[in-house]
Structure 1
């Protein structure tokens, strides 16, 4: 009897290929957009970091004895992503929760539709509809309200139905309103806007305080969370009990992050090549956001049909288990030219009914 496939118990690191039951599958899923988990030069830096700093650091960031690499990594992150200051935590979820809970008291809080659960205060926000509809409603709500202080919370993009959000609608909000804009850029940082992510793209206005939170575990390949903001906001966040009480990420990962500027740049160049190659070969039944490496199929059977050709893509029911699957190709820098060509040929076959 043929052994059933269990893709939820993969016994190896993710890469461009996955071997299961003796069969090899091309893998086009996940969030390792820059292929960092399989980048040997990055791994070597990580190992060097382990030798320098050990496996982990379980002490609080306010301990009287500190590793200097945390302050250095925050300085490098701020410089790299064009913010005044930065804060690094042990996870993207912690970075988001810390930020939203600390800043929510500034004013009335409005969440954009589909905001990541890490951005929720206590329960799921009620916002529905498209980002564009929400933006229009938010302008009207704030401008017509007597309240002066507002906190807007949103993802930087929708990575499932690929769309990078445009926040220039904020320019239509009356300048006598004071806003804090909190944007989760977990899927964009290191990829979108030439790798800079969303912070440098957000509207710069005197009445808007910009804050970006992100997981560093996706494109950047480091198990840590990041906050980019003004020096004043970062100081306020570092004074919170959540930040003071939490252990930091492993110093070795941050050592590799500091050393990896050229690695990230080269990986992004390779990713962009893969995106151009796939865009040229795909038909019109796939949706994408320019520059982002996810491609959404309108065919609900695309995942199943590609699996029959030994190609694994991201495929799961959404928004609930009774929904039809969302089928997405997700490219990474670890994919070769031949990998992408094989994918294009397989997609053409299923579109032609072969």
Structure 2
């Protein structure tokens, strides 16, 4: 399905209007006029693009200001930003592998956390076996565990049961918090503080800021020594930075984020209170997504005027991902219509 404008509450398909419950615009900021006006103001100040290296002899102070702001927001010692979440994840993983740390991805880890040298696992049993094998080879080896903080198969947030089974004092945790930043945690701070309480040997969290925060950028959070080490890599120096206009928008949009997140949490509270919902979906409590694997339900929803996330992921050979996504741009009547429809569905 190809469209010619950003999808909001509704979407046009074959000349018909559908309610749109897909994508990753959790706060609905991309079409929010107040947020857009703030961005346009910053765009006029900083221009459409800033392509110079972060190691250039000319430095824009907005980068340091935004990174300090983000570190304070999530509760980390330090932070660096890049132009995308994918790039942020690759910087972390490639650097750790180059340093000699064995890297193991838990089942369902995002492709951004993958390189040719990352050990992939397809089940919890295989993951534990691979990790045990590495730890038994050399007690001085510190492996890196790669995972999505928001695992839609319910393996991580909010309890992180898989991680709690491990000897984390001997492990580097690398979490991709792209679906958590701006959404979960205290005031939308994401999962950094939750993971830090598990006391791993080292914690690094990377994230896209596009989903929850509505800006095109990626970020890496950790202790100062780790972040400084990543900052000094050729990878970071050679990569184009995040847009300064976007970063200043993030700093200035605190009240907008607060208002939009409160609205989203109200939508989520309503949906989580419908008993029938729990029978149809796999749902992570506290997160505005509802997964399902039922072609019959998918067809039923579309026939009744709903478009949602429904495609093979991460490539054509992957499983079909079907997901209802709530957004702050939805109205209460949209949710009521969705719930009324779901309550008439008989498997």
- TM-score normalised over the length of structure 1: 0.88
Counterpart among 246, 252, 261 of residue 245 in structure 2: 252
Instruction: Please state how far the C-alpha of 1:307 moved relative to its aligned partner.
Output: 1.2
1:92–1:214 contact (8 Å) kept in structure 2: yes
Match of 2:103 in 1: 109
Match of 1:122 in 2: 116
- 2:327 matched to 1:329? no
RMSD, aligned α-carbons = 2.4
- 2:196 matched to 1:221? no
Q: Deviations over 1:279-320 (max 9, x none)?
A: 233441222010111112353222222111111011124687
Map of 1:268-307 to 2, 5 A cutoff? 268-281=261-274, 282-283=276-277, 284-307=279-302
Deviates more, 1:225-234 or 1:36-45: 36-45
Distance 1:339 1:99, change over 3 A: same
Work out the CA distance in 1 between the residues paired with 2:178 and 2:171. Answer: 22
1:33–1:333 contact (8 Å) kept in structure 2: yes
Match of 1:193 in 2: 185
Match of 1:85 in 2: 78
- 2:16 matched to 1:14? no
Work out the CA distance in 1 between the residues paired with 2:342 and 2:164. Answer: 42
Instruction: Please state how far the C-alpha of 1:27 moved relative to its aligned partner.
Output: 0.1
Structure 1: runs of 5 or more not aligned? 1-6
Distance 1:163 1:20, change over 3 A: same
Partner SS for 1:258: helix
Match of 1:63 in 2: 56
Work out the CA distance in 1 between the residues paired with 2:87 and 2:28. Answer: 24
Structure 2: runs of 5 or more not aligned? none
Work out the CA distance in 2 between the residues paired with 1:123 and 1:346. Answer: 46
Match of 1:3 in 2: none
Q: Deviations over 1:22-63 (max 9, x none)?
A: 321100000011111122221111011011111110111111
2:155–2:161 contact (8 Å) kept in structure 1: no
Distance 1:162 1:19, change over 3 A: farther
Partner SS for 1:48: helix
Aligned residues: 341
Work out the CA distance in 2 between the residues paired with 1:309 and 1:286. Answer: 18
Match of 1:313 in 2: 308
Work out the CA distance in 2 between the residues paired with 1:164 and 1:300. Answer: 26
Counterpart among 337, 340, 344 of residue 345 in structure 1: 340
Work out the CA distance in 2 between the residues paired with 1:42 and 1:29. Answer: 21
Distance 1:244 1:295, change over 3 A: same
Work out the CA distance in 2 between the residues paired with 1:323 and 1:264. Answer: 34
